[in-house]
Amino acid sequence: MNDLRRSVDRRSSRDGFTLIELLIGVVLTGILCTAMAGAIVVVVRNMAATTSRIDNSQDAQNLVTWLPRDVSSTPATNMRTDPTLDAGCASTSPGTNVLLLSWSEAVNGTTTTYIADYRAVPSADGRTAMLNRYSCSGTGSMGAASELKVSNPISALPEGWGSGQAPVAVTTSGNIVTFTLTQADGHIARVESAHKNPAATLPPSPTTAPTTTTPATTTTPATTTTPATTTSVGATTTSSIAPTTTTIPPTTTIPCVVGSLTLSSSTVKTHSKPPNQLQSDVTVTVTWTGDCQLLQLEYDTGGSMGLLYQNFTTTSPHTVTLRGFNNGGTEIWTAGAHTLAVIDNNKNVLAQASLAVS
C-alpha cells in the first residue's frame, strides 16, 4: 500500500511545465507572432500597390482602345486642340481640352453627330492630373457626356493649369495622330492613330464632265464658202472640216503587293516591374509595291483587349513599333506565340509573322 502511494506521488511531481519550459514557449510564441505580423503587413502593402498598378494599366488600355477608333472616324478638319474649347455636350466638361473630335454618321436617313473630347483634369492638389475621355451623341441637341479614365496619372506643368496647357503633346504627320503623355512617375507613353474618314481623303467634285465617259465629238462640220471672182453667176467653192473624236484611255491601278515582313527580334521578354509589358521595343518593317494605302499591323496581345491595330508609316521604311516598357509601352502581353498580320483597308491579310513572348 505504501509502495502504491509513493508511485502516485512521484507521477504527480512530474505533471505540468517547468519555469524554463514556460519561458521558452513564451519566447517562441513572440517570435512567431512577430514574423506573422510582418508577413501580413507586407501582403497588405503589396496588395494596394498591385491594385494601383492594375488600375493604371486598365486606364492606359482604355486610351489604346478608344483613341484609334475615335481618330479613324474623324476627318482631319474636325480635330481641334484649342485648350479653351468645351466638349459641346449637354453638360460642361472639366479640365483642359487636349483633343476634341467630332464626326457624323447617317443611317436610314437619320444623321447622328458624335463627340469625343480628351481632356486633362488636374487633381485636387494640382500636382498630378488624369487624361479623361468625355463622349456624347445626338441627332439634334447633344446628350450628357459620359466620362472614362484613359491614362495613368500624368504630370502637371510647373506654371499650373491656368495657362490652359496640359502635359500631353498632340502631333500630326500626314494622317497619323500621335499622343505623347508625361506620366507622374516620369515615364513617357505614346499612342499613334490614323484618321480614315472619307471626308478627309476624297478629291473635290469636278467642275466639268469627265472626258473619259463622253468623248469630244464635232457632229456638224464647219463650212466656209468663198465667192468665185472669175464668173458672173456667183460660182462658189466649199471646204469642210471632218469631225474628229478624242477618247482618253482609263488609268490602270497597280495592285498592292507586300514583298516582305521582318521583325527586329522574333523573341522578346516581358518586364518584371510592371509585369507583362515588353522589356524592349520590337520594330515591324514591311516592303511593298503597287497602290498600297493605309496598311495596318493587326495583332492580339493575349489580354482582354482583343485585336489591336497600328498604321505603318507612309514613307519608306514602312514600320510599326511595338513599344517596350522603357520606351513608354503600356500594352499587356501574355507569354506565348502571337501572330502579327499586315492587312489592307478591306481587312485582307497580306503577310504574317510570329512574335514569341516569354
Domain boundaries, the chain: 53-196, 257-358
Residues 6+ apart with CB under 8 A from 74: 101, 102, 103, 116, 195, 197
Distance CA 152, CA 182 (A): 10
Residues with pLDDT less than 70, the chain: 1-15, 46-60, 156-166, 185-186, 198-253, 273-274, 304-305
- What pLDDT is stored for residue 141 in this prediction? 85
**Per-residue model confidence as pLDDT tens digits over 144-175:** 999 988 877 777 654 444 444 557 788 888 77
What is the rounded distance in angstroms from the CA atom of residue 341 to the CA atom of residue 308? 11
pLDDT reported for residue 230: 45
**Regarding the domain delimited by 257-358, which CATH topology (the fold level of the hierarchy) does it fall under?**
Immunoglobulin-like (2.60.40)
Which candidate, 162, 163, 181, 161, places its Cα nearest to that of 171? 181
* 3-class SS letters over the chain: CHHHHHHHHHHHHHCCCCHHHHHHHHHHHHHHHHHHHHHHHHHHHHHHHHHHHHHHHHHHHHHHHHHHHHHHHCCHHHEECCCCCCCCCCCCCCCEEEEEEEEEEEECCEEEEEEEEEEEEECCCCCEEEEEEEEEEECCCCCCCEEEECCCCEECCCCCHHHCCCCEEEEEECCEEEEEEEECCCCEEEEEEECCCHHHCCCCCCCCCCCCCCCEECCCCCEEEEECCCCCCCCEEEEECCCCEECCCCCCCCCCEEEEEEECCCEECEECCCCCEECCCEEEEEEEECCCCCCEEEEECCCCCCEEEEECCCCCCEEEEECCHHHCCCCCCCCEEEEEEEECCCCCEEEEEEEEEC
d(CA 276, CA 154): 21
Backbone angles phi, psi at 109, to 5 degrees: 80, -5
Q: What is the pLDDT of residue 271?
A: 73
Give the tens place of pLDDT for each residue, 263-317. 998 898 887 766 778 888 999 999 988 778 778 899 988 876 678 888 888 788 8
| CA distance linking residue 310 with residue 296, whole number of Å | 5
What gap in Å lies between CA 348 and CA 341, rounded to an integer? 10
The model carries a pTM of: 0.43
**CA distances from residue 145 to 31, 88, 130, 138, 332 in whole angstroms, order as listed:** 57, 9, 17, 11, 29
How many angstroms separate the Cα of 68 from the Cα of each of 43, 73, 120, 296? 38, 9, 18, 12
Minimal CA–CA distance to 315: which of 340, 341, 288?
A: 288
